[in-house]
């Protein structure tokens, strides 16, 4: 039986994701805080709902794509939220990047209403969403994952949709690990380029050479090029990465895990935001280190 999909949150990421569902023949009901993206999705073939509860009443699968933990909690548990209208047997897929602790609590509330919750945060940024090439990290019941995998494949790269574990929050933990790993790589590339710049060595040639050895990475390939070109048009905004690092530090503290390198990256990101770079691509943390090495303020 075909699923009736509800999609809540039509921001920078959610809008193209929902559009892919419509384009690939899925029946989609949408809701968002802003009317403009709703109108855009309706023009593409979706149907609009007036509330999150209204979405849930008509949907067998409810997808949320929202900025932060508090937003997801409000949309799910608010007075006119998803839980107020959730069908028994429905699957709630939260594709936001939020607290694993909150995710476990929300999964329990969904289960009490007779539904199943999957946490399925993504990696790939706006470009990945536009190209339906997102990596998707899924936590929750394997049976529910198998049921909704064809839906996830409409929005992500099928080879990069991974069921992380049956425990609620597993996907969010994986996303935290993703952001931690990226932060370390970003800082390393930034420091390498700062050294090259200060000594007068061509950073583009340094990047070319490093891509041929063990230092090669997607961060060096993609974000290294951004740093060389001084092009920080956002694919993933610094303010959102700041939020993800806050979650990473909170999660590490809750589990007694030391992440000192991430703590340093967090301060670089904080400095960039303080200098007015909140809406630049997060690779712009390189500018903080470049400024320090050149005796300038970021």
CA–CA gap between residue 227 and residue 237 (Å, rounded): 15
Structure tokens that stand for 52 in this block: 């999150």
Residue among 19, 113, 175, 243 flagged as catalytic: 175
* Contact present, 131 and 107 (Cβ < 8 Å): no
Burial (0-12, 13-18, 19+ Cβ within 10 Å), 258: exposed
Structure tokens that stand for 183 in this block: 């932060």
3-class SS of residue 161: strand
Question: DSSP string spanning 61-98?
Answer: EEEE--SSHHHHHHHHHSTTSHHHHPPTT-EEEE-S--
User: Is 175 a residue of the active site?
Assistant: yes
Helices (H), the chain: 14-23, 35-44, 52-57, 69-77, 82-85, 100-112, 125-130, 142-152, 170-198, 203-210, 218, 224-229, 238-254, 260-274, 285-293
Helix axis angle for 238-254 and 260-274, nearest 10°, is 150
| Among candidate residues 179, 167, 174, 191, the one with its CA nearest the CA of residue 246 | 179
Phi first, then psi: what are they for 45, rounded to 5°? 125, 0
CA–CA gap between residue 7 and residue 9 (Å, rounded): 7
Pairing between β-strand 122-123 and β-strand 116-119 as defined by DSSP bridges: unpaired
Residue 281 Cα distances to 21, 109, 193, angstroms: 27, 35, 17
Q: What are the catalytic residues?
A: 175
């Amino acid at each position: 039986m075909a699923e009736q999909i509800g999609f809540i949150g039509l921001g920078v990421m959610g809008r193209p994701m929902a559009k892919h569902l419509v384009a690939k023949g899925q029946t989609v009901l949408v809701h968002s805080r802003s009317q403009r993206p709703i109108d855009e999705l309706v023009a593409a073939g979706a149907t609009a709902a007036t509330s999150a509860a209204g979405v849930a009443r008509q949907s067998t699968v409810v997808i949320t794509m929202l900025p932060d933990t508090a937003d997801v909690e409000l949309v799910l548990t608010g007075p006119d939220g998803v839980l107020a209208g959730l069908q028994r047997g429905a699957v709630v897929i939260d594709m936001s990047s939020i607290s694993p602790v909150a995710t476990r609590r929300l999964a329990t509330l969904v289960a009490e209403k007779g539904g199943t919750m999957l946490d399925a945060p993504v990696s790939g940024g706006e470009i990945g969403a536009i190209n339906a090439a997102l990596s998707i990290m899924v936590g929750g019941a394997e049976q529910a994952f198998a049921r909704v995998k064809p839906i996830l494949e409409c929005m992500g790269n099928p080879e990069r949709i991974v069921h992380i574990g049956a425990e609620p929050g597993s996907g969010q933990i994986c996303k935290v690990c993703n952001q931690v790993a990226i932060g370390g790589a970003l800082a390393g590339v930034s420091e390498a380029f700062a050294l090259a710049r200060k000594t007068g060595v061509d950073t583009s040639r340094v990047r070319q050479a490093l891509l041929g050895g063990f230092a090669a990475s997607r961060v060096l390939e993609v974000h290294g090029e951004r740093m060389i070109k001084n092009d920080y048009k956002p694919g993933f905004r610094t303010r959102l990465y700041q939020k993800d690092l806050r979650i990473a530090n909170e999660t590490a503290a809750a589990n007694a895990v030391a992440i000192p390198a991430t703590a340093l990256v967090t301060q670089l990101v904080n400095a960039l935001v303080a200098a007015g770079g909140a809406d630049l691509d997060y690779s712009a943390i390189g500018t903080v280190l470049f400024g320090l090495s050149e005796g300038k303020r970021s």
